[in-house]
Amino acid sequence: MKLTKADVRRELDALPAGYKTADLDRLIVKLVREKADVSALREHVLAEQDLHRIYYYVNLKQIRDVQSRMAFIHENLMFSDWWHTDQLISFVADLPFDQALSYAKGYLRDADPFIRRWGYVLFISRLGRGHAAELLPLMKNDGEYYVQMAEAWLIAELAVCEPDQVHAWMADNDLRYNMNGKAIQKICDSYRISDAWKESFKQLRPRCRGR
């Protein structure tokens, strides 16, 4: 069943007034169950956030293998809404690490900050666990706030499983304090990192400031 934008708009208009994300997700489940083809929405997703969510989710939930899901995302890097990339992580968490890293290295060179952000948040799942040695060298002094926050988030995630390696890297990296400070704050906010390690990371602040 191929749906036009008008068809999807009618479905949205039938939702309760002031509908919430849960209502939208129920509509997505319905469209997936009906095997809806929402490809016609592609040209509209940057203008309407609800269509953005429907376009990605209805497509991705109908794609069974992880390589094809990643290929779909790669072909549709329309990330004007910074938070949306965070919602895509689960769809590619089973991707082979080397394949994900190859994609990410391209994204991190992109002029669009939201695509660069995706290059980092891609690994905030089991996909990045145990790979601090490969991922920490990707950190940069990016000027865009949302990219900085993605880097800090990923650094904190890596510190959950490999705090010693992250700590050693942070003690001697060439990032500005602005970047290291955000990462330390994310680490301190994490409930999965011990108080002892949090204190060790806090003690790096003067050293990071002094570089």
Report yes or no on 26 lying in a domain.
no
Residue 37, strand partner residues:
2
For residue 159, the enclosing domain spans 96-210
Report yes or no on 54 lying in a domain.
no
pLDDT tens per residue across span 101-136: 999 999 999 999 999 999 999 999 999 999 999 999
**CATH code (residue 136):** 1.25.10.90
Report yes or no on 138 lying in a domain.
yes
Q: How far is CA 190 from CA 10, 106, 194, in A?
A: 42, 29, 9
The tokens describing 83, both together, are 């938070």
Report yes or no on 75 lying in a domain.
no
Structural domains counted in the chain: 1
pLDDT tens per residue across span 9-47: 999 999 999 999 999 999 999 999 999 999 999 999 888
